Each structure stands twice: as structure tokens, then as C-alpha cells.
Amino acid sequence: MNFGETNKSNRIVKKTDVKLCTLCGTLNHEGNADCFICGWHGSFSQDQPTIELAWKRFESLYEEVRAEHITAKLQRPVGDFGADRPASLLERLSGKIKGAWDRFQTQRDLRMAQRAAGLKSGIPSKPDHLGV
């Protein structure tokens, strides 16, 4: 028994674990609240014949349907003996930088929204040194 095959089989998805986005028709994992392709967050279709057609399309493209095909999350690469390969120093550093940048942009957007709300409310601003 090869440990790599065992881990690989855990990433393969069953037909009962999927649903169809009613907006774009993409297969999504049943755990997805929103469609990972178009962002739809309404109802999803559970029509089995349509799911079967979408399933066959994925099988023709990829030979099997895996979790990374129906979610936005990519599976981590597998290292020796089927164990997840730990993230490299560069991957961890770039993840931390991306997280910090995302937080900065979120705070900036919040400040801009607060400033725009203050301008729309008609609250007079403090006059500058020219009295304007």
C-alpha cells in the first residue's frame, strides 16, 4: 500500500458532495456558501441529471473530480509518504505580507467610507487658515 495513494484518494470528491450554481452552472462543493467562480450566494441546484453532466465534463478534463476543482482552495502539495509538505519560508513570508497588505487596504477602505459618509451628511468641516 502506497501512502501517497491514500492521501490522494481523500482529495477525490463524491457526486453526493456537490451542487450546481444556478447562475453560472459550475460544480461547487456542498460546503461552499458562495459560488467560487461567480460569487453567487443564492440557491444552488441539486438536479442529479445536470450534476451528472457537469461531473462527466470534469472527468473528461481531469480524469477525476478533486476538491481543488470545486472549491477556491488549492490542496497543499504532497511530500514524502503522502504527508503534506510544509510551506517554505518564502511561502510563509509572502503569505504574511499579503495578509498585512489586505488588512491595510481594508482599513484604508473603511477610512475612505467614513470620510465619504461625513461629506454626504453635510456636517460642516473646520475652516482652514484662510477661513474657507
Domain ranges of the chain: 3-82, 88-122
pTM for the model stands at: 0.46
pLDDT in tens, 30-66: 888 888 888 888 888 888 888 888 888 888 887 888 8
SS3 readout for 92-106: HHHHHHHHHHHHHHH
Q: Three-class SS of residue 2?
A: coil
Q: Which helix (H) or strand (E) holds 14?
A: none
Judge whether residue 97 has pLDDT over 90. Answer: yes
The Cα-based distances of 106 to 86, 100, 101, 103, 111 in angstroms read 29, 10, 9, 5, 9
In the chain the first and final C-alpha atoms are separated, in Å, by: 80
